Amino acid sequence: MTRFMLSFFVFTALVFCAQNAHAVDYSKAYLNNQSNYVLVRTSEWNISQGTLVWQDAKLPYAKGFNKLVSVRFDYEGLIPDWAEAHATYSYYAVPDFVKQGECVFEFRTQDKVWNPSFLNSHCTGPIHLSLIHRGGGISMDNYIYELLG
């Protein structure tokens, strides 16, 4: 009987630990700025449900590859479909630093994964926004917002 109870306890503990190990999902967003403009974040990353793990500093981003945000949510099997995260960035012409437009980046949860929403992710003005997705499945989701213009 003692051996059975010990086996049951170990099995229950392993199942509980394995379930909790997968109870956190992360998504990261990167900016690949291939435009001739400099971007500056003008609002904080607002998250309706979840945890902001990391966000970029409000520094100007010239050409190149930069990490913007890392978001996660902790769940016990249920995540509302409406959870979202969004921020606004303005972009400026150089060298005179004249504002040319804005970009809004938004994530929403779908099937327990953060992913970009192009319903509301957009840029105004002469810049073009596209998306590259890497990861997924058992890998962390990485989204790259690519700006051309």
Domain ranges for the chain: 24-148
| Per-residue confidence in pLDDT tens, the chain, 149 aa | 566 444 544 444 444 443 444 434 567 788 888 998 999 889 888 887 767 777 877 777 777 888 887 776 555 555 555 567 788 999 999 888 999 999 998 877 666 666 666 667 899 999 999 988 787 666 677 788 899 98
DSSP string, 4-66: HHHHHHHHHHHHHHHHHHTSEEEEEEEEEEESSEEEEE-S--EESSSEEEEE--S--B-SEEE
8-state DSSP, 75: -
Predicted local confidence at residue 125, as pLDDT: 92
Q: Do residues 92 and 38 lie in contact, with contact meaning Cβ atoms separated by under 8 Å?
A: yes
Maximal CA-CA distance, the chain: 80
Find, among 112, 103, 105, the residue nearest to 50 by Cα.
112
Cis peptide before 95, with omega less than 30 degrees from 0?
yes
Quote the pTM value.
0.70
Phi, psi of 12 (to 5 degrees): -65, -45
Q: Which helix (H) or strand (E) holds 2?
A: helix 2-21
Residue 35 CB neighbours (<10 A): 20
For domain 24-148, give the CATH number: 2.60.270.50
